[in-house]
Amino acid sequence: MLVNNAGVMPISALDDLRVEDWEDMIDVNIKGVLYGIAAALPVFRTQGFGHFVNIASIAGHKTVPTMSVYSGTKFAVRAISEGLRQEAGDTLRVTIISPGMVRTNFADGVTSQTVKTQLEKSRDAFAMPAEAIARAIAFAIEQPPDVDVNEVVVRPTAQK
């Protein structure tokens, strides 16, 4: 099994033109998933089984102001995962986990102080514990070998 969970989220308004932040998100959030696939796929093919769990985000389902680039990277994770699932055949499984706001230090990487403050306020008000995502991953991998949980969306009940 491979869990592709690397990600960065230095979100900001497009007008801020934080091109280096955009490049970081593309490099980590998209290319990181691809590099993980490149490392694991030959091993999975050789052993005849394997399970990719790629972490996307609810931002990969819907975007909001300041999250355009981040959302684009998470939409890409979903597209790559679906393509991999279709190419995988009947011996490899592919699951996308799309978390909502999780109680982590993700806001530390946000370069816009205004956006960072808003995210921290929301996180402190209603974010779910990281264990919720671990349980979603466990659910997907505990299924029988002929069952593929394709996507799980997990979010706090208070998140809009």
Sort strands 50-55 and 2-4 into parallel, antiparallel or unpaired.
parallel
- CA dist list (Å): 41 to 10, 15, 50, 85, 94: 29, 39, 8, 12, 11
Alpha-carbon torsion, ordered 40, 42, 47, 53, to 10 deg: 30
Residue 70 annotated in active site: yes
Give the separation between CA 160 and CA 135, rounded to whole angstroms.
22
Residues 37 and 4 sit within 8 Å (Cβ to Cβ): yes
User: Of 22, 44, 52, 70, which one is the catalytic site residue?
Assistant: 70
- Just list the catalytic residues: 70
